Amino acid sequence: MPEHDPETLRPSGMTRRQFIKSVIAAGVVTCSGALFSGPAGAAPAGPPGAVERLITLDVNGQQRRVDVLPHETLAQTLRYKLGLTSVKIGCDRAECGSCTVLVDDVPRYSCSTLTHSVRGAKILTVEGLTRPDGGLHPLQQGVLDAQGFQCGYCAPGFLMATLGFLKTNPDPTRAELAHGVSGNLCRCQDYDKILTALQNGAASMRKA
Amino acid sequence: MPQHDAPFTPRLTGHDYVTPDLRAKLTGTARFSEDFRIEGMLACKLLTSPMPHAKVARLDTSAALAVPGVRAILTAEDLPAPADTVTDTGSVIRANKWAEPALTMEPLYAGEPVLAVAAATEAAAAEAIAKIDIAFSPLPFVIDPLDSLRPGGPAARGDGNVWLQPPAGPDGAPAMAQVGRLSWTEADFAAAGPHRLPLGKPSREWAYGDLEAGFAKAALVLDETFVTPNVSHQTLETRSTLAYWQNGKVFIHTGTQSTMQTVPAISRWLGIPPERIVFISEFTGGGFGSKGTAGISLVIPALLAKKANAPVMMRVGRELEQAIGRARPSCIGRLRAGFAADGRLLALDMYVLQDNGPYEENNDAAMSGRIVSLLYQPQAMRWRGLAVLTNTPTRMYQTGPGGVQGVMLMDRVLAKAARELKLDQVAIRRVNAPAGKAPYDAAGAGGKRPHATSAFVKEALDQGAAAFGWQARQALPRDLGDGRRRGLGVGLGSFVAGTIGFDGLFVITPEGRLRIHCGIGNLGTESFSDVQRVLADAMDVPWEACEIVWGDTGKHLPWSCVSGGSQTIHAMSRAALAASLDAKKKLKEIAAQTLGGAPEDYAVAGGRVSRASDGRGLDFGEAARRAMALGGAYDGHEISAGLHALTKASAQALAGQGLLAVAKDTFPRDGQSFSYVATFAEVEVDTATGMYRVVDFHAAADSGVVVHPRAFGGQVVGRSMLGLGHVTGQRWVFDRHYGMPLGSRFYQTKPPTILELPQKTGWSSVGIPDPETPIGARGIGEPPTGAAAAALLNALSDALGDDRFRRAPILPDMILASLEPDARPRDHGLSANV
């Protein structure tokens, strides 16, 4: 890749366009993040030896610089600072799974994961599944074709839990997949159609 | 409005498709209320009551207001006083002094909001809450309705403990219900004993037929008491709300079950006219009745935003949601039922005591009587009911409100009767099933009992029994070895399933497309889109030529029903059809004016209006441009009378954009629309652990024409799962000494997970069109819940025997206790809140 190419990779591994996008997003961060910052937010620098606040996270293939409090959960960071609103907080206590994201390919309840604990890990949310041209991930497409989910509030969490499970078992039976996503609640309780749709999505992934 | 003149060709209706909102849900671009941000947005925190009933004795907010970042504190003093309101139809909604306020200085349940703080950050708001100087004086409280009815028992409110119905006035008009004091006598309690509901004084009752003659003729008389659970709605999306005021208007984002009906509700709560309200609710993360229109969770941030003069986001966490997020009321029922030898229900004496919570009277107890009278067609029946106030969270409609409790109380009585009379469970339901224009309730003012539009319950029973293999399974052994037992059960469900009289509105654009304006709430049932399939069929256009505009009153939407009580597919498919007839009339008139001849020479088909004689005509785009040139009614510059005021305002705003079609549903209907479900379940019980699970399940619906099969199936199975949860684990738990709720999280009042989906799950539909609606479709959301709960209760009785349980949910420890030698049914003093 020539030096003057606008898509030149930067040292972080990001393209220029990705870098600019992340800076724009970081601008949003400051204003929306203020809503949830603690009293410590008033003090710009912590005492010596405190946890570094300004950290870099690998989210959906982008390096995102973000100011993170020591007690901040990954769900708070993703939703309120990085604007990834697919991450839903249904219970904030690891009961419902609507905040599920992948951390190094493993489904995690982001409401119960401290952001500082996932520095250096690859974080994936539903926003990161869609291709840059807007095309759907085969899992999303398979679910869409089968009209999976009703209100859809639980859908992002279910999709990420499924994706993580399929990495360990790409061709599950219906019962195996049900176990794989049993940490996710749906209150419309359309579980039968959800399983059918997720199986359809898994089949799409195997064909892709 | 012209009559339904053209035959309806269902090219899209009845077929699966992908709804237009789904992609956003799967890509994370769907914006629920809490996903919105606006410049200068403040955070809101509530101070809630730490006691079940108290008065605020001291309140000083000065230290809280001094916290940096705090902008305003809203208290009960800031609320508009309750006032009578007049609806657009001229009817008066009278102020109710016992109605739920948004904030209160006399909280009536633990967790009730007392005041609200707006601050720059949630942390600052929380710090302010901590610095509020407040003292509460505890007052007497009651958690269980029977405690309140005992002589000298506590009352939930200072001025009473029950809802009383005063006699009708001299003009026969029903009087407004009032809170008053009522105690039952020691003799009432003594006569019942500890395990039956005492039959003390009710507040409401009705009857038809000769009850005592029915009991005298009966071959079997049963007297059964049962307690149904309090069940919180537990929508996965809490009721977080964003509100702000701009240019004299209030903008509100929150989840709702009706975009348009929420507007007049906001108007009543805030005391401002509808034209000053912009309401945005494109996606709603579950409602189940609890997000009907506007409630306190919307009012608090709206008033706080006004006081702070800045946008306010009230994020609602799970524990606050459990407190203010509504719940189905528990009902304690006592049913005395007399059966003939062939299973016919000759006489039914039904008493329902409702745990009402502290505020407005819920309709569940009354609805339980209505549904039982319809679904089991007793030859003679008396219903009595009493709503007792308790210091527990506010109740509200939940899927099949009252119908679920009625079926949970009654269907198990039918199951027991079948076993005692040695009848087949399907047969006893068939012999009592409603058919055709089946009557329900007592006679009204005209001396005639009201009736259903249709009922094909026998057909649903037969279809379900065949699909489930009911007869063949009867021969299966109940003992599965290793301490495991099999149980088989069937249960019925029913609920209202359609209203009438709403408006349809769409524009044929100059590009020849249909832009459909939709005021229906989008809570996942997909009816907001499904009813437009009917419109596309009626206009004979492909689905790709249609675009739906929904979820924002700024986009000019018509008056629509609330998506609750399974109304929408019935009500709004009628409204869509009415609008299509208006469009066709206008298209034909425009064609005749443009091309000559009379309007009736023309027909609408294939995206054109043309005449058969010479094939001349206009495509929709040409016709729309002609409509704009002609003006008047054709492009919406003149609006016909009879429409709702909000529809008129929307139509006027759209004038000049194309051919404007707008009409009110005035199609006739004889009777009240109900839907029905017959559900079959096989359960496997492990008597060593008390664990059980449904291994096979089939629900057969009688709901008329199915408009969107996959959405229909999703509702049948999803709402069935809700019913199974009523039996397997959903309940409230209270510390009865302090009146504090102990179960405020999912794991403590546990909804079914995907692992509780029956191993085999099926659904089907009888599909016989409803004769009283042009499309033939009725709603399906409500009836599966009660049917599933009843089928599972009956299957457990089949596995373990009758008289094991007098309350639901049935937890494993109850199963184990019931299997002890000399076990007695456990009912915990008929309390739902164990």
Specify whether A145 is located in the same domain as A183: yes
Name the domain count of chain A. 2
Whether residue A115 is found in the same domain as residue A20? yes
Q: Which of B664, B689, B709 is the last residue of a domain?
A: B664
User: Using H for helix, E for strand and C for coil, what is the string for B747-790?
Assistant: CCCCCCCHHHCCCEEEEEECCCCCCCCCCCECCCCCHHHHHHHH
Q: Which of B286, B526, B719 sits opposite A153 (nearest CB)?
A: B286
- Please tell me whether residues B530 and B660 are part of one structural domain: yes
Instruction: Please give the tally of structural domains in chain B.
Output: 3
On whether residue A165 sits in a domain, the answer given is yes
Q: What is the DSSP string of B656-711?
A: TSSEEEEEE------SB-EEEEEEEEEEEEETTT--EEEEEEEEEEE-BS-S-HHH
Residue A7 domain flag: no
Is the separation of the CB atoms in B760 and B695 below 8 Å?
yes
**CA pair distance B791, B286, nearest whole angstrom:** 25
CA–CA min distance B574, chain A (Å): 23
Tokens 């979820």 sit on residue: B551
Rounded average pLDDT per 10-residue block, chain B, 834 residues: 54 97 97 96 98 98 98 97 74 86 98 98 97 98 97 97 90 87 98 95 97 98 97 98 97 97 94 96 97 94 98 97 97 98 98 98 97 98 98 97 98 98 98 98 92 98 98 96 97 97 98 98 97 97 98 98 95 97 98 97 96 95 98 96 95 98 97 98 97 97 97 98 96 94 90 96 97 96 98 97 93 93 79 85
Question: Which helix H or strand E contains B548, and what residues bound it?
Answer: strand B546-550
Specify the CATH number for the domain of residue B747: 3.30.365.10
Label residue B193 exposed, middle or buried (CB < 10 Å: 0-12, 13-18, 19+). Answer: exposed
Q: How confident is the model at residue B313, as a pLDDT?
A: 98
Task: Determine whether the interchain pair A88/B286 forms a contact, defined as Cβ–Cβ distance below 8 Å.
Answer: no
What CATH number has the domain bearing residue B101?
3.90.1170.50
A17 touches chain B (CB under 8 A): no
Tell me which residues of chain A have a pLDDT lower than 50: 1-34, 38-46
A110 in the same domain as A146: no
Residues in Cβ contact with B108 at an 8 Å cutoff, skipping those fewer than 6 apart: B52, B53, B156, B157, B358, B359, B391
For chain B, positions 6-65, list CB contacts with chain A under 8 A.
16-19, 21-32, 35, 37, 39, 41, 43
**Residue B198 belongs to some domain of the structure:** no
Q: Is B175 a member of any domain? A: no
- With beta carbons under 8 A apart, name residues in chain A contacting B313: 35
Asked if residue A31 belongs to a domain, the reply is yes
| pLDDT value, residue A109 | 98
Residue B320 domain-assigned (yes or no): no
Of B636, B664, B692, the position where a domain reaches its end is: B664
Both A167 and A110 in one domain: the answer is no
Q: Are A24 and A106 found together in one domain?
A: yes
- DSSP percent split of chain A into helix, strand, coil, nearest 5: 45, 15, 45
Residues A60 and A100 both lie in one domain: yes
Whether residues A20 and A77 share a domain: the answer is: yes
Q: For residue A93, list chain B residues with Cβ-Cβ distance below 8 A.
A: 318, 745
Check residue A193 and give its pLDDT: 97
Q: Are residues B465 and B505 in the same domain?
A: no
Q: Is the ipTM of this complex over 0.90?
A: yes
Nearest-angstrom CA–CA distance, B226 and B331: 8
B98 and B134 share a domain? yes
Domain extent for B596: 22-30+501-664
**For residue B555, is it within any domain?**
yes
Instruction: Kindly state the helix (H) or strand (E) to which residue B818 belongs, with its residue range.
Output: helix B812-818
Examine the domain organization and report whether A157 and A95 are in the same domain.
no
A 67-86 near B (Cβ less than 8 A): 84-86
pLDDT of residue B123: 95
Chain A residues whose CB is inside 8 A of the B317 CB are 92
Q: Up-side HSE of residue B217: CA atoms within 13 Å toward CB? A: 17
Q: Please judge whether B27 and A153 are an interchain contact, meaning their C-beta atoms are less than 8 angstroms apart.
A: no
pLDDT tens sequence across B357-390:
999 999 999 999 999 999 999 999 999 999 999 9
Question: Does residue A88 sit within a domain?
Answer: yes
**C-alpha distance from B524 to closest chain A C-alpha (Å):** 4
Q: Does B695 touch chain A (CB under 8 A)?
A: no
Q: What does R_g of chain A's alpha carbons equal in angstroms?
A: 18
Is A151 in Cβ contact with B26 (below 8 Å)?
no
Verify that B532 and B677 share a domain, yes or no.
Answer: no
Residues B480 and B522 in one domain: no
B646 CA: distance to closest CA in chain A (Å):
27
What's the pLDDT score for residue B84? 80
Contacts of B66 (CB under 8 A, 6+ apart): B131
Tell me what pLDDT residue A45 has. Answer: 47
Residues of A in contact with B21 (CB under 8 A): 152
Do A116 and A145 have their domain in common? no
Question: Which residues in chain A touch residue B234, judged by CB atoms under 8 angstroms apart?
Answer: 187
**pLDDT at position B5:** 44
Whether residue B731 sits in one domain with residue B586: no
Structure tokens at B527: 């009816």
**B724 and B767 share a domain?**
yes
Whether A155 and B127 lie within 8 Å, measured CB to CB: no
B808 shares a domain with B701:
yes
Residue B376 lies in a domain: no
What domain range includes position A70? 16-125
Residue B388 lies in a domain: no
**Strand pairing report for B178-180 and B692-702:** unpaired
Domain CATH number, residue A149: 1.10.150.120
Choose the final residue of a domain: B314, B342, B371: B314
CATH at residue A95? 3.10.20.30
Is the CB of B745 less than 8 angstroms away from the CB of A159?
no
Strand partners of residue B133: B60
Assess whether B443 and B523 both reside in one domain.
no
Q: Which pLDDT belongs to residue B258? A: 95
Last residue of a domain, one of A100, A125, A150: A125
Q: Which residues of B touch A190 (CB under 8 A)?
A: 714, 717-718
Q: Is residue B562 part of a domain?
A: yes
DSSP letters spanning A100-130: EEEETTEEEEGGGSBGGGGTTSEEE-GGGTS
Instruction: Answer whether residue A74 is part of any domain.
Output: yes
- 3-state SS class at B451: strand
**Residue B551 sits in the same domain as residue B632:** yes
Residue A81 belongs to some domain of the structure: yes
Domain endpoint, select from A69, A102, A125: A125
Is residue A114 located within the same domain as residue A21? Answer: yes
Residue B249 falls within a domain, yes or no? yes
A116 and A185 fall within a common domain: no
Question: Which is it for strands B42-48 and B312-314: parallel, antiparallel or unpaired?
Answer: parallel
> Using a CB-CB distance cutoff of 8 angstroms, which residues of chain B are in contact with residue A142?
none
- The answer to whether position A48 is within a domain reads yes
Residues A164 and A71 in one domain: no
| H helix intervals, B31-115 | 62-65
| Residue A146 placed within a domain | yes
Of A125, A151, A176, the last residue of a domain is: A125
In one-letter notation, the amino acid at residue A125 is: T
Do B645 and B717 have their domain in common?
Answer: no
Mutation target among A190, A194, A199, A204 for the B interface, most CBs of B within 10 A? A190
At B194-253, the pLDDT tens digits run 899 999 999 999 999 999 999 999 999 999 999 999 999 999 999 999 999 999 999 999
